[in-house]
Structure 1
Amino acid sequence: MSPKYRRVLLKLSGEALMGDMPYGIDPKIVQAFASEITQVIRAGVQIAIVVGGGNIFRGMKGAAAGMDRATADYIGMIATVMNAMTLQDALEQMEIPTRVQTAIAMQEVAEPYIRRRAMRHLEKGRVVIFGAGSGNPFFTTDTTAALRAAEIDAEVIFKATKVDGVYDDDPRKNPQARRYKSLTYTHALTHNLAVMDSTAIALCKDNNIPIIVFSLNEPGNICRALLGESIGTIVGGSCEIS
């Protein structure tokens, strides 16, 4: 394997950890993700991960149900730590040294987020999983991924989702929807495309961090993206339809 990137940030949605379950964590899915991440690490790539918590609790849904928005977001942050610890365990079973760093102090189970320490872990070949979002309500884990990628000097963000890229319309509702091979940050923002939230895209634009959106449903896609194969959609280039 000849990797294209030296240091990457992988954004995993909490929903991806559910597999076909309606709620929670599917251990087989977590093991599969850990196996692919292990291949990336053994190729000499430094990898940091931001994981969501939507498989356990989503702050926006809690707020929509009448809960105080800040409280709901804090509960969502705690859910991301549960996912981070689960993924850490799966990676360490494969003998990959892993550290969980949280933006909210949880000293009995994880390190606090310290930028220089995170970068040192990466340099030593450890996987770093960032939990608890940014530590602030009203910000998504997408924004956290963009923020942490900028802080640790990641070359690219891999956004692994349940769809195989970014479309000009919802492919579940419109069978004629077309997938972008690449698109600009500005196009993604002005057309409100479902890549990341606008704050995250703007942060990537300001720091010139490309975003590669691809499907996790096909085994091996993380490695393919790492090798620079043309999969999914690249945000940060010119606009091109597949």
Structure 2
Amino acid sequence: MRDSEQPTYQRVLLKISGEALMGDAGYGLNPPTVERIAREVKSVHDLGVEICMVIGGGNIFRGLAGAAQGMERTTADYMGMLATVMNALAMQSALEAEGVYTRVISAIRMDEVAEPYIRRRAVRHLEKKRVCIFAAGTGNPYFTTDTAATLRANEMACEAIFKGTKVDGVYDKDPKKFPDAKRYETVTYDECLQKHLGVMDASAIALARDNSLPIIVFSLDEPGGFRGILAGQGTYTKVHG
């Protein structure tokens, strides 16, 4: 994409899972993987696109899994929220090493390490071309980071959510298990819910649908994929009304 060309969207939210930061490791953070994703974000930021991010915490702790093992659900979910803060700080460090000004904004107050969530302040950061990483989910148990991402994208008036995954779109079944799996070019919110396509959880899909917020599902492992889609190129699935 030439710098003279206008990207498809001017303000977007990038949602990635905590597992995306693990790389080939089975747990925690893989610094080269974090740095690679930071470079992808920088390449889009360099186009003048305003970027928010939400990162899951599943590489460190997953609340639902903790609850399934007998832990009290609310406590487990708060632990998961703290894991997302750790991931957000790691991404902030990697982005700032690339020269991108970044703010970590937490739904749970921890003033020594992150800003509290104040919508107008966050919007101002975006207008100043700072990347805003929203951490600690919604600040409430029983809500996933998918729901948090959709909530923040709406609050920030983002034009789309970019959901970075291990595959290049939404398939009718797992393409890693079934070679005949078919990829959707586009799919509706209702189809995602009815067919249980696993794009995001039901609350997040419903919130996106109610606010006509498109979701772009693409492969985070494809170099240049994030920037390419903003140029109208690449392989992805668009979820819309």
Q: Which TM-score tier does this pair reach, normalised by the shorter chain?
A: over 0.9
- Provide the TM-score with structure 2 as the length reference: 0.96
Report the counterpart of residue 38 of structure 1 in structure 2: 42
Report the counterpart of residue 16 of structure 1 in structure 2: 20
Report the counterpart of residue 238 of structure 2 in structure 1: 234
Alignment equivalent of 1:126, drawn from 113, 123, 130: 130
Alignment equivalent of 1:87, drawn from 88, 91, 116: 91
Report the counterpart of residue 202 of structure 2 in structure 1: 198
Question: How many Å apart are 1:230 and its aligned residue?
Answer: 4.5
Q: Distance in 2 between matches of 1:202 and 1:181?
A: 20
Question: How many Å apart are 1:177 and its aligned residue?
Answer: 1.3
Question: How many Å apart are 1:223 and its aligned residue?
Answer: 0.4
Report the counterpart of residue 185 of structure 1 in structure 2: 189
SS of aligned partner of 1:25: coil
Which runs of 5 or more residues in structure 2 are unaligned? none
SS of aligned partner of 2:67: helix
Report the counterpart of residue 157 of structure 1 in structure 2: 161
SS of aligned partner of 2:171: coil
SS of aligned partner of 2:53: strand
Alignment equivalent of 2:106, drawn from 102, 107, 118: 102
Question: How many Å apart are 1:42 and its aligned residue?
Answer: 1.2
Partner amino acid for 1:208? S
Report the counterpart of residue 240 of structure 1 in structure 2: none
What aligned pairs does 1:28-67 form with structure 2 within 5 A after superposition? 28-67=32-71
Q: Distance in 1 between matches of 2:186 and 2:10?
A: 22
Question: How many Å apart are 1:4 and its aligned residue?
Answer: 1.0
Alignment equivalent of 2:225, drawn from 211, 221, 224: 221
SS of aligned partner of 2:185: strand
Query: Are positions 1:166 and 2:170 aligned together?
Result: yes
Give the % identical residues.
Answer: 61
Partner amino acid for 2:87? N
Equivalenced residue count is 237
SS of aligned partner of 1:213: strand
Q: Distance in 2 between matches of 1:104 and 1:155?
A: 26
Which runs of 5 or more residues in structure 1 are unaligned? 238-242
Which stretch has the larger CA shift, 112-121 or 35-44?
35-44
SS of aligned partner of 1:5: coil
Q: Distance in 1 between matches of 2:202 and 2:176?
A: 22
Query: Are positions 1:142 and 2:142 aligned together?
Result: no
Structure 1 moving runs of 4+ over 2 Å: none
CA offset digits 1:38-92 (Å, max 9, x no partner) = 1111110000000100000001110111101111000000000000000000111
Q: Distance in 2 between matches of 1:190 and 1:89?
A: 40
CA offset digits 1:109-154 (Å, max 9, x no partner) = 0000111010000000100000000000001000001000000000
> What's the RMSD between the two structures over aligned residues?
0.9
Q: Distance in 1 between matches of 2:15 and 2:146?
A: 7
Q: Distance in 1 between matches of 2:173 and 2:164?
A: 19
Q: Is the 8 A contact 2:107 2:138 kept in 1?
A: yes
